[in-house]
């Protein structure tokens, strides 16, 4: 028969090991589900009118972000609109019509019909993990 004082030197009771294992699994599941939460792009207002402004908001994002890269249509370099570096609060290129804010949202001023498109954003967090979101913007002309 084992002496109770010896059992604690061998790693503790089975209940203690079970609680530690449950705690680790719980933390891992919470981290994995937070990373897997859907992120979407939502136009504000929901529909654009020619000549008006729209902000493409990012919904469902949490945590520290390092960069935002916006694309028109697909996540490919030829379709890149803008790159925003959060720590320095700089946008590149700086001289384009669109403006990216520190929360990653993108303002598109003076809408035109050809701004109707799918938009995507690639988000890189402070540890280098990448996530992406997409959404659609519809722009309508004035009916006379």
- DSSP-based three-state secondary structure for 140: strand
pLDDT of residue 60: 92
| DSSP 8-state code for residue 45 | S
pLDDT of residue 19: 60
Compute the radius of gyration of the chain from its Cα atoms. 24
Cα(139)–Cα(109) distance, integer angstroms: 12
pLDDT of residue 7: 45
Q: Given the structure tokens 């290129």, which residue do they identify?
A: 93
Q: What is the separation of C-alpha 137 from the centre of its chain, rounded to a whole number of angstroms?
A: 18
Q: Average pLDDT of the chain? A: 84
Angle 121-64-81 from CA coordinates, rounded to 5°: 20
- With a cut of 70, which residues of the chain have pLDDT below it? 1-12, 15-36, 143-144
């Amino acid at each position: 028969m084992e002496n109770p004082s010896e059992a604690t030197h061998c790693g503790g009771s089975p209940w203690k090991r079970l609680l530690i294992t449950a705690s680790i699994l719980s933390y891992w599941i919470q981290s994995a589900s937070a990373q897997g939460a859907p992120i979407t792009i939502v136009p504000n207002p929901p529909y654009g009118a020619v000549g008006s402004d729209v902000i493409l908001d990012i919904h469902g994002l949490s945590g520290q972000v390092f960069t935002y890269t916006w694309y028109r249509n697909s996540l490919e370099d030829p379709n890149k609109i803008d790159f925003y570096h959060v720590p320095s609060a700089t946008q590149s290129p700086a001289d384009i019509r669109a403006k990216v804010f520190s929360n990653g949202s993108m303002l598109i001023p003076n809408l035109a019909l050809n701004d109707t498109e799918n938009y995507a954003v690639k988000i890189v967090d402070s540890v280098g993990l990448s996530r992406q979101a997409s959404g659609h913007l519809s722009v309508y002309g004035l009916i006379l």
